């Protein structure tokens, strides 16, 4: 029944994805799912309709995204999950981030002369592949919180992989844009290119029987074949035999992988509590710093599209990223002043560095309370925009906010058994040290690379769930989510209106304004007060759900192919 409904509705939902933006936010009374792809949203909806819970829907959504949006996420990558258990009134956060192979050392991305490689020289091939965590995350959380049978949640993706799905406009454009790199490896080339060596066009009926067979094994045996058995052996062989750029991943790395349940990082913003993922994600900490600094300005008197707010937001963005670059990394390997970075008095002090009428000259890392007294060197390692995010609220009030990735678009470009492998190791600093001082986000065996992924849950003053939100977008995820939170929490916007706000970012010194939006018109004003400005595409993929007294309100980013469905 489930797969029949999916196949019959796939064309309809594709058309609905276009109309959803024009119609504004989606409203529902019982349950809701918001994902980056209409087919994935339909799977989540069908699972919730059958009585499944948010975790059940999460499993179905993620596996379907692996099939229909392979450039962004999948079982060859990693994910961060925030889960709200309504019955226990508890928030849990689960770290399914990839880990560095045990044989990988800090010089993995250094050339023979000691200088760092060019970024894509490190990305393409086995060198960049970390131990995947997404499948283990799905299995562990489903075992603890799921309600429907594991194998039933996988069947829709198995059947669609066999029958074929229509390649979306975004997927086709992604293949065409990256065609040269994707042709590097035979398995990837044979899947994503036609017989005449041209990239698959939009509308192509694409079948993936190899992925269907992989999922059959996983449906029958769980993650065991992936981490211990025949799938594991194929993953390692693919990585270690990658022509021209082999990697270090081994069977021992897969067998030793585990998902970590970590305490969520929560902070107050006015009457709300905002909760996110802690290290190795920098998302919750950096967003918390931005909101904490901005709380010392009267934002409610400003227009979210006006020059005064854009200036303040950008300066808070840059100040928070200064601390991020110096202190934030995998806290299992690096002593981090987590509480100090969010200390209200520290953030008040940092906010005073922001001049409300011109660019400040005092943008450097601070010294938060509890910071250890040893010297670190700042890091500005690249984290490119790919990834996917989805939000789910079920009929029992449970909620999922999950950001999932294979890092760069199409990851390492290596494909095995129908899925792509991540290039997550490139989220580490390519340099382990600078001028004799260690970099917190340096590569070490078993370490998890720093991330900007920011799955977020918000609670009101009564402790009730108010919002689930997140985005893809590399390091720009942080300002994307921050502006959406402010839209809802500060200006009481509808979630779709908040998502639609122009994107702005100032992560590393240059202010970026989203092309084709009202923000573009602020370029001259921003330059006049001292900002270096670049107008460019800022393609977020925000998905969000707000819980109101009258029901659920959902929004999907018009910049991608997202769709909200609910009942």
DSSP assignment of 145-162 equals H--S-HHHHHHHHHHHHH
Question: Residue 140 domain-assigned?
Answer: yes
* 185 and 67 within one domain: yes
Question: Residue 394 falls within a domain, yes or no?
Answer: yes
pLDDT attached to residue 14: 38
From CA 446, how far away is CA 363, in angstroms rounded? 33
Handedness of CA 125, 130, 131, 137 (dihedral sign): negative
Q: Do residues 368 and 291 share a domain?
A: yes
Domain boundary among 438, 472, 501: 438
Residue 274 lies in a domain: yes
Instruction: Using the 3D structure, point to which of 392, 412, 438 is the last residue of a domain.
Output: 438
- CA-CA distance, 417 to 214, in Å (whole number)? 6
Query: What per-residue confidence (pLDDT) applies to 382?
Result: 61
Using alpha carbons only, how large is the chain's radius of gyration in Å?
22
- Asked if residue 388 and residue 351 are part of one domain, the reply reads no
- Contact predicate 531/372, CB 8 Å: no
- Residues 418, 66: Cα–Cα separation, whole Å: 10
CB atoms within 10 A of CB 24: 14
Flag whether 149 is in a domain.
yes
**68 SS3 class:** helix
The pLDDT, as a whole number, for residue 24 is: 80
Are residues 348 and 471 located together in one domain of the fold?
yes
Would you say 304 and 501 are in contact if contact means Cβ atoms under 8 Å apart?
Answer: yes
Query: Which CATH number fits the domain that encloses residue 505?
Result: 1.10.246.130
Cis peptide before 413 (omega within 30 of 0): no
Q: In 69-133, which residue ranges form alpha helices assigned H by DSSP?
A: 119-123
Catalytic residue positions, numbered: 387
Structural domain range at position 535: 262-383+451-550
pTM for this predicted structure: 0.94
- Residues 208 and 351 placed together within one structural domain of the fold: no
Same domain, residue pair 364 and 407: no
Between CA 544 and CA 391 the distance in angstroms is 6
Are residues 172 and 304 both part of a single domain? no
Q: Is 64 within a domain?
A: yes
What element of type H or E holds 268? strand 265-269
Query: What's the DSSP call for residue 440?
Result: T
- Which of 438, 472, 507 is the last residue in one of the domains? 438
Please check whether residue 293 lies inside any domain of the structure: yes
Judge whether 150 lies within some domain: yes
Which residues, at least 6 apart from 372, have a Cβ–Cβ distance to it below 8 Å? 335, 337
**Do 342 and 470 fall into the same domain?**
yes
Query: How much is the pLDDT for 4?
Result: 37
Parts of the chain with a pLDDT under 50? 1-23
81 plus 39 within the same structural domain: yes
3-state SS class at 137: helix
Cα dihedral sign, 446-449-453-457: positive
- Same-domain status, 371 and 393: no
**DSSP character at residue 179:** H
The count of domains in the chain is: 2
* DSSP reduced 3-state for 260: strand
Shared domain check, 373 and 413:
no
Instruction: Establish if 560 belongs to a structural domain.
Output: no
Q: Taking a C-beta distance cutoff of 8 angstroms, is the pair 466, 276 a contact?
A: no
* Same domain, residue pair 44 and 120: yes
């Amino acid at each position: 029944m489930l797969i029949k409904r999916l196949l019959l509705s796939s064309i309809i939902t594709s058309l609905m994805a276009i109309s959803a933006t024009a119609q504004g936010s989606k409203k529902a009374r019982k349950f809701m799912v918001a994902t980056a792809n209409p087919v994935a949203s339909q799977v989540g909806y069908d699972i919730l309709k059958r009585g499944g819970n948010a975790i059940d829907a999460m499993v179905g959504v993620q596996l379907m995204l692996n099939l229909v949006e392979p450039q962004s996420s999948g079982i060859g990558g990693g994910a961060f999950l925030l889960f709200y258990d309504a019955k226990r009134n508890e928030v849990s956060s689960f770290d399914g981030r990839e880990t560095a192979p045990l044989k990988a050392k800090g010089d993995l991305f250094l050339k023979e002369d000691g200088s760092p490689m060019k970024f894509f020289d490190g990305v393409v091939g086995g060198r960049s592949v970390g131990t995947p965590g997404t499948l283990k995350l799905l299995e562990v959380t489903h075992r603890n919180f799921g309600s429907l049978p594991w194998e039933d949640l996988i069947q829709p993706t198995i059947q669609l992989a066999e029958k074929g799905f229509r390649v979306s406009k975004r997927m086709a454009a992604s293949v065409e844009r990256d065609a040269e790199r994707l042709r590097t490896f035979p398995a990837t080339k044979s899947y994503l290119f036609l017989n005449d060596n041209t990239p698959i066009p939009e509308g192509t009926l694409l079948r993936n029987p190899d992925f269907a067979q992989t999922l059959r094994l996983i449906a029958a045996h769980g993650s065991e074949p992936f981490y211990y058995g025949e799938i594991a052996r194929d993953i390692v062989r693919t990585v270690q035999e990658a022509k021209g750029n082999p990697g270090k991943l081994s069977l021992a790395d897969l067998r030793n992988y585990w998902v970590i349940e970590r305490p969520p990082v929560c902070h107050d913003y006015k009457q709300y509590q905002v909760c996110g993922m802690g290290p190795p994600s920098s998302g919750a900490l950096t967003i918390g710093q931005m909101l904490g600094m901005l709380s010392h300005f009267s934002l409610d008197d400003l227009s979210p599209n006006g020059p005064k707010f854009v200036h303040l937001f950008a300066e808070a963005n840059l100040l928070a990223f200064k601390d991020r670059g110096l202190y934030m990394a995998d806290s299992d390997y690096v002593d981090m002043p987590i509480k100090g970075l969010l200390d209200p008095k520290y953030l008040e002090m940092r906010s005073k560095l922001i001049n409300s009428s011109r660019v400040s000259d005092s943008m450097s890392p601070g010294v938060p309370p509890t910071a250890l007294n040893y010297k670190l060197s700042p890091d500005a390692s690249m984290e490119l925009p790919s990834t996917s995010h989805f939000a789910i609220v079920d009929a029992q009030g449970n909620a999922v906010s999950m950001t999932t990735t294979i890092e760069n678009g199409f990851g390492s470009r290596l494909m095995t058994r129908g899925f792509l492998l991540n290039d997550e190791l490139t989220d580490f600093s390519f340099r382990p040290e600078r001028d004799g001082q260690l970099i917190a986000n340096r590569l070490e065996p078993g370490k998890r690379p720093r991330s900007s992924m920011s799955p977020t849950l918000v609670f009101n003053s009564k402790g009730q769930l108010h919002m689930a939100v997140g985005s893809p977008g590399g390091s720009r995820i942080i300002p994307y989510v921050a502006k959406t939170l402010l839209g809802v929490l500060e200006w009481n916007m509808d979630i779709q209106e908040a998502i639609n706000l122009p994107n702005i970012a100032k992560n590393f010194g240059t202010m970026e304004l989203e092309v084709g939006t009202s923000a573009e018109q602020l370029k001259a004003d921003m330059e006049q007060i001292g900002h270096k400005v670049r107008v460019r595409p800022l393609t977020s993929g925000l998905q969000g759900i707000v819980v109101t007294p009258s029901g659920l309100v959902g929004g999907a980013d018009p910049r991608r192919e997202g769709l909200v469905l609910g009942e």
